[in-house]
Structure 1
Amino acid sequence: MEKNTIAFKRHRRLRSSSSIRSLVRENHLRVEDFIYPMFVIEGENIKNEVTSMPGVYQFSMDLLLDEVTEVYNLGIRSIMFFGVVTAKDEIGTGAFIDDGIVQVATRMVKEAFPDLLIVADTCLCEYTSHGHCGVIHDHDVDNDESLELLAKTAVSQAKAGADIIAPSNMMDGFVAYIRAALDEAGYTNIPIMSYAVKYASSFYGPFRDAADSTPQFGDRKTYQMDPANRLEALREAESDIEEGADFIMVKPALSFLDIVRDVRNLVDVPVVAYNVSGEYAMVKAAAQNGWIDEKQLVIEMLTSMKRAGADIILTYFAKDVAKWLKEN
């Protein structure tokens, strides 16, 4: 049989050179896509590397601006602060006081970089003595009582200068409560980036080292989602949209790319994927052992999140990728 009589499609034509591959590439990473998480710790002259997250540090307030300056100069325009404190109590008072560590950091950074977006993680777990995301009664989180404190936290963060409120606590009704509180306080233009789809994942371990937020008893499975569930994610996202969420987040990202796509197909607001600490730590560990090409793997991993439907990626790799993108 003559070769030219056999009909088949030649897909390789569009892969034949680097220039052609670039021309037809469907998804692209941009530095504008990233939110960079940062840890602020009490004290002075502190730059502690998180043991389980190589390259990620806790910064005291006096060193924070130097780090933010580097982030800004790389072209990253969105960051998120997490506070690391020693004084904790049953209700997480440090989350909503005006002179809380994140509030002070926010005011300082906004003064220095007015156009830098600060996304406020709105939760109590870093500030409660028990490490849970709300008020505890009978060894369980009281949903409705916790809502009042989360609303106070959101208002205090907006007052400090936060540009976006990002509640991560997974209480029922948290978006509705926070939206009402922000509006009542005059912050009607502050959007809410809801951690709408947050799974009770094993990928959070390194973050809990960094933020000192490990639960002192039990786990968070009564309020975070079962990783086996898919339809539940759609219910959570839909209800948060109805309550006023302006962004919808899926966390973690890498093991839940199917959920990112489902959410993208459901909602018409920006979708955020959180490339969490455990995902970061695994890549760094493999890279340190020489088992992978870190740059190529990270680019591939984050691109998969964009391909799945994420508009924005919250990632500890933001600085690394920003440098790599400058090289290309």
Structure 2
Amino acid sequence: MSALKISTRQFMVSPDTKIKLERDFDPAYTSDYLDKSQAFGKLEQDIQQLAQYQDILYAQNTYALLVIFQAMDAAGKDGTIKHVMSGLNPQGCQVFSFKAPSAEELDHDYLWRSFKALPERGRIGIFNRSYYEEVLVARVHPEVLDRQQLPPDAKGKGIWKQRFREINHFEQYLVDNGIIVVKFFLNVSKKEQKKRFLERITNPEKNWKFSLNDVQERQYWDDYMHAYEEMFRYTSTEYAPWYIIPADHKWFTRLTVASILCDRMKQLNLKYPILSDDQQKHLKSAQAMLEAEP
């Protein structure tokens, strides 16, 4: 059976659109796919296609790709990165997981550590969490903002709109300079998160994944949903849109992320470099020398 098509635009948040996650995006959605066996062939095809795009991206050395993953705990960020990027050449791919900022990082502006981690031209950079934590965790937990040593007048009521504006300008700057920004929110339901937390507790092989803090954060679920909804409204742009990916079925999450990445890479119209006449002459000279060897 041929692979089913996925309309990737249905997962995109239109700029300046007020959404409600619970109402507008179903975490259990699987399109026309019935199960993961049906999706396997399409995912494998897209993984191979991404590897081909990566090879041309590296050879052309004009663009870079920055892929951002945001999600609630246990939504499947690590597994999605592992599976979707499994065909990529590790030499051309960089993954950064942003934890709580260090003392050095707190002595800089909140985008500083992200600037340092941006991918070079020809490479793919992956942010497992990102500077968007500064309008999510810092908003839900005001004590995080207090530790950032900001001037008093920089912590007023308008700080979130200000940061949305700054992030938009930052991403516009990146895109203008050839760094393509693709942003995914893995949308897991509260019910499915509970199921995955319980599995981490009861399965000895997954105990290491569990943190009591993850469960404690569940009490702020509604606050996080509000923060995310505001973030989507003000930072999903034409040049760097947000994609809200159903995450209750991991196989569909991976399938959709891979499909969107293929679409975005295809839009770049990547091509292998064309050699100049002089370079072509050098190739022919080298060929003649090699063929003349005994």
TM bin (shorter chain): 0.3 to 0.5
Normalising by the residue count of structure 2, what TM-score does the alignment of the two structures yield?
0.35
Normalising by the residue count of structure 1, what TM-score does the alignment of the two structures yield?
0.32
More helix by share: 2
More strand by share: 1
